[in-house]
A = this chain, B = another copy of it.
Amino acid sequence: MTLKKILIVSGTHGNEINPVWAVNQFCKQNNITDKNIEYKFIIGNPLAFKKGIRYIDTDLNRSFDFKKNLNKTNYEIDRANFLAENFGINSSETCQIAIDLHTTTANMGTSIVMYGRRNVDFCLAALLQNKFGLPIYLHENDKNQKGFLVEAWPCGLVIEIGSVPQNFYDPNIVNRFLIIISDLRDEINKLKNNLIKLPKELIVHVHQGSIDYPREKNGSINGIIHPDRINQDWKQIKRGDPLFLDINGNSIFYLGDADICPVFIGEVAYKEKNIAMSYTKKELIFSSEEWVNEFLGL
């Protein structure tokens, strides 16, 4: 295994502050290198973090589509270029893995977000699901959402923890990030030294699409998340289950035929993306020796 460096990014969204605290605390209390693996830590969007806002010009975590960025510039595009140039695969500080730490106002618990189906990502996600039993949200085939940070590295995952308000320090949320950061390296070392095996199968929640709030013609929201749905992320629903409450207190129902599991229910930052919730379908994926080989060969 030639793996040397893991890039841990916090504050990719400037108002998600608990990961930044967790990283600082981790660095004070721990050695960030061991003989095999070195952590590199960086604040994704330092200016937005300083201001306590999600971003300056555009969402940094949609700014890593370098083809689309060609000849464009703004604070986040410049920042995406900076991160790739300094920690990307062709940089002096080459990191093979990127872990991007996020929080959500939705009641997701601690979860893993994957983008697409890379074997190396499956390997890492399987390690974490095996250790902690974390749910995995596999984001793919969404033409409206591209250019995620971790896609710019050969291997990478998002760790997403909620619910917590934006800009609210919650020591319990900090602690959950601390556990993930510290155990990540241990698990990778164990895998390398053949001390653990991947589980035979992986349960993933595969992104199917998103549902917007009911809105007025002028764009203002005229339905809120239904009491039966709020804070019920990952819970399967079927046709006829309520989604929203309109201003008269009437329910608006889910009318699709497929059973689905909503996630990011009511996430504050997604209102501007016209997303009240995304929805997923459970899929069982059998793990493969190739995942481990490719991962250890990174």
Contact = CB atoms under 8 A, between A and B. Distances in A.
A165 B105 contact: yes
A248 B29 contact: yes
A164 B24 CA distance: 27
Q: Within the oligomer, what is the number of copies of this chain?
A: 2
A174 interface: yes
A169 B28 contact: no
Nearest to A53: B53
A226 B175 CA distance: 11
A86 interface: no
Given A247-B25, A249-B25, A175 B227 contact: yes
A150 interface: no
Interface string A267-298: 01001000000000000000000000000000
A171 B25 contact: no
A224 interface: yes
Interface in A131-188: 163-172, 174-175
A248 B21 CA distance: 11
A266 interface: yes
Interface residues of A, number: 31
A221 interface: yes
A271 B29 contact: no
A80 B65 CA distance: 46
A99 interface: no
Given A24-B247, A247-B28, A248-B29, A266 B168 contact: yes
24 contacts: A21-B224, A24-B247, A28-B247, A28-B248, A28-B249, A29-B248, A105-B165, A163-B165, A164-B165, A165-B168, A166-B166, A167-B268, A167-B271, A169-B221, A169-B225, A169-B266, A170-B225, A170-B266, A171-B224, A171-B226, A171-B227, A171-B245, A172-B230, A174-B224
